[in-house]
Amino acid sequence: MSEPHTSTELATEKLREAILSGELLPGDRLHQDRLAEMLGISRTPLRAALTTLAQTGLVSYESNRGFYVREFSIADVSGAFQVRAELEAMACRLAAANMTDTARKLLNDLVAEGDRLLEPGALLPENLGAYRRMNVNFHTAVMDLAGNPWIRTFVQSLHNVPAASDRVIMWRDFRVIERSHDDHHRIARALAKGQGERAAAIMREHITFALEHLDLQLKLYPQDFLRMPSPDKPAKGRKASRSKRSSE
């Protein structure tokens, strides 16, 4: 183990994963003793984990009334993209003033890595993880170059918004991926030349388009992205009904 994970951190990660993957549905009550038993830990570290997630925004909490999986509205999701676009555009403006040779090389390497992964003319399933990692690293690198720690902090926390996270965005159309990666090319070039405003403009459009595309995908394949607590269509698994649940 590289990091001495404590029970609390372990539980936090498991719960975050369960929520972001949709295993736990928005609005679900998070019973402490049941969850504790499920995870094989006591209530003490579980409560710590839930407290953390509550501050993160993934779960909501009311005194003496327990924790719930937070429900995100459409406004939350699109708002997340809006703010991300603004913050990362800002990062570009700032980063352009801090470009060094090593910075240029870093961005170039990341872009080249993307080129390599897209070389086959399609995003192969075995390359999906690597591509996502490259994508995250590219955006993170730009934000780090900006020298403003808050940008990365906030963008990071926006990735906890279910449908707004890079992890759940499925690009079904290869042309979209290519176009998106071409944005990376342009951003890297613009930054290398110190053209901050231009890089910012591309970045803003880069992210705004991601929202537009998500919007479209949402209409086409809603069940794959958002599992809203729809009253008539309970998706799958357990439902957040107030009556007694037969199982579990």
Partner DNA sequence: AATCGGATAAATGTGTTCATTTCTTTTGCA
Partner DNA sequence: TGCAAAAGAAATGAACACATTTATCCGATT
Binding site for DNA (CB under 7 A): 4, 6-8, 29-33, 41-45, 47-48, 63-67, 242, 244
150 by Cβ neighbours in 10 Å (0-12 / 13-18 / 19+) ranks as exposed
Would you say 41 or 192 has its CB closer to DNA?
Answer: 41
48 near a copy of itself, rule: CB under 8 A: yes
Q: Helices 74-96 and 174-192, interaxial angle, to 10°?
A: 30
Q: How far apart are alpha carbons 235 and 231 in whole angstroms?
A: 10
Spell out where the chain has E strands. Answer: 29-30, 59-62, 66-69
Q: Using CB distances below 5 to 8 A depending on partner kind, what does residue 90 bind out of DNA, a copy of itself, none?
A: a copy of itself
Please state, as a whole number, how many other Cβ atoms lie within 10 Å of the Cβ of residue 15. Answer: 24
- Interface region with a copy of itself, contact rule CB under 8 A, candidates 22-30, 108-116, 151-159, 207-215: 151-159
194 near a copy of itself, rule: CB under 8 A: no
Would you say 44 or 223 has its CB closer to a copy of itself?
Answer: 44
Dihedral over alpha carbons 17, 18, 19, 20 (to 10 degrees): 40
| Site residues (vs a copy of itself, CB under 8 A) | 4-6, 9, 44, 47-48, 51-52, 54-57, 63-64, 75-76, 79-80, 82-83, 86-87, 90, 94, 147-151, 153-154, 158
